[in-house]
Amino acid sequence: MRRIHGGGGGFNDVRICSSSSSSSFNLGWKLKFESGIHRVQRVPVTEKSGCVHMSAVSFAILPQADEMLNSVNDIQKYVWCSGVQHANTTKSAVRITHLPTRKTVSIQDEQSQHMNKSKALKVQCAKLYEMERSSIQMSRSRLRSEQASVTYWQQRQIRRHLNIHFLLGDVTDHRSGTTHHAINDVMQGESLDVFIDAFLLQQQMDLFIGRYM
């Protein structure tokens, strides 16, 4: 865990790294639906007049660089021979294509196919990681630009994010209309399943209605 402290006893940035395991996969699969901007309404400790301030918390969940290519459905591997003079080398050549992005990497440096595969995976991971990093930076820059506008919150209808209201002591998910009144439990992560399960159920219902109604 990496934490950057902010003013008023809070944090400006918190990053948590989870290892590759079935439990962390389920955690990542569930939490990915919570990515986005969450609205927070509170009275800061530095506020003398008791006025309510509205802030935004950005949340993103991303795979680690060495985990981005683990899905069999996302990767297609080819072993090919170009028929040039060094047959042993070309027969061990490996080409890996990342289907969602169509990024392709070909490696034929080694005579061992296993070593070429390992090299190709590392190169592909690095490319995808850099692409993802650039995308995140662009999104954050755009978000900061939007939030600089005074009318940002009036113009944007927040439906897909949590509204955390410390004064009322509740948290509302505008996607499913679910409200939970134990705000401390939510902030500790103990009641997040209330929102996640409700949202997933609504997703299934919307899919059913769209398919059969």
Residue 144 pLDDT > 70:
no
Q: What is the pLDDT of residue 81?
A: 39
147 in a structural domain: no
- 154: confidence class by pLDDT, cuts 50, 70, 90: very low
CATH number of residue 84's parent domain: 3.30.160.20
149 in a structural domain: no
For residues 57 and 134, what is the distance between their CA atoms, to the nearest angstrom? 20
88 in a structural domain: yes
DSSP state letters, 21-45? SHHHHHHHHHHGGG-EEEEEEE--T
135 in a structural domain: no
Residue 46 pLDDT > 70:
yes
Whole-number percent of the chain with pLDDT over 70: 61
Pairing label, strands 103-107, 94-98:
antiparallel
- 140: confidence class by pLDDT, cuts 50, 70, 90: low
Q: What is the pLDDT of residue 192?
A: 82
79 and 54 share one domain: no
For residues 118 and 141, what is the distance between their CA atoms, to the nearest angstrom? 35
- Picking from 85, 115, 130, the residue at the C-terminal end of a domain is 130
150 in a structural domain: no
For residues 179 and 162, what is the distance between their CA atoms, to the nearest angstrom? 9
207 and 194 share one domain: yes
Range(s) of the domain holding residue 117? 68-130
58 and 89 share one domain: no
In this predicted structure, which of 17-26, 91-100, 133-142 has the lowest mean pLDDT?
17-26
73 in a structural domain: yes
10 and 36 share one domain: yes
The DSSP code for 89 is: H
> How many domains does the chain divide into?
2
162 and 59 share one domain: yes
Q: Is 113 exposed, middle or buried (0-12, 13-18, 19+ CB in 10 A)?
A: middle
For residues 79 and 58, what is the distance between their CA atoms, to the nearest angstrom? 42
192 in a structural domain: yes
Q: What is the pLDDT of residue 133?
A: 75
Tens digits of per-residue pLDDT, 50-104?
Answer: 888 877 777 776 655 555 555 544 555 444 434 333 444 466 788 888 777 778 8
Q: Are 54 and 38 in contact (CB under 8 A)?
A: no
138 in a structural domain: no
| Extended beta strands in the chain, E state | 2-5, 11-15, 36-42, 53-59, 75-79, 94-98, 103-107, 162-165, 170-173, 178-180
Whole-number percent of the chain with pLDDT over 90: 0
91 and 56 share one domain: no
Amino acid at 76: Q
Residue 158 pLDDT > 70:
no
165 and 198 share one domain: yes
CATH number of residue 170's parent domain: 3.30.70.1660
198 and 169 share one domain: yes
- The highest-confidence range among 52-56, 137-141, 156-160, by mean pLDDT, is 52-56
Q: What is the pLDDT of residue 26?
A: 64
Amino acid at 73: N
Q: What is the pLDDT of residue 1?
A: 58
59 and 76 share one domain: no
For residues 84 and 52, what is the distance between their CA atoms, to the nearest angstrom? 72
Tokens linked to 162: 């949590």
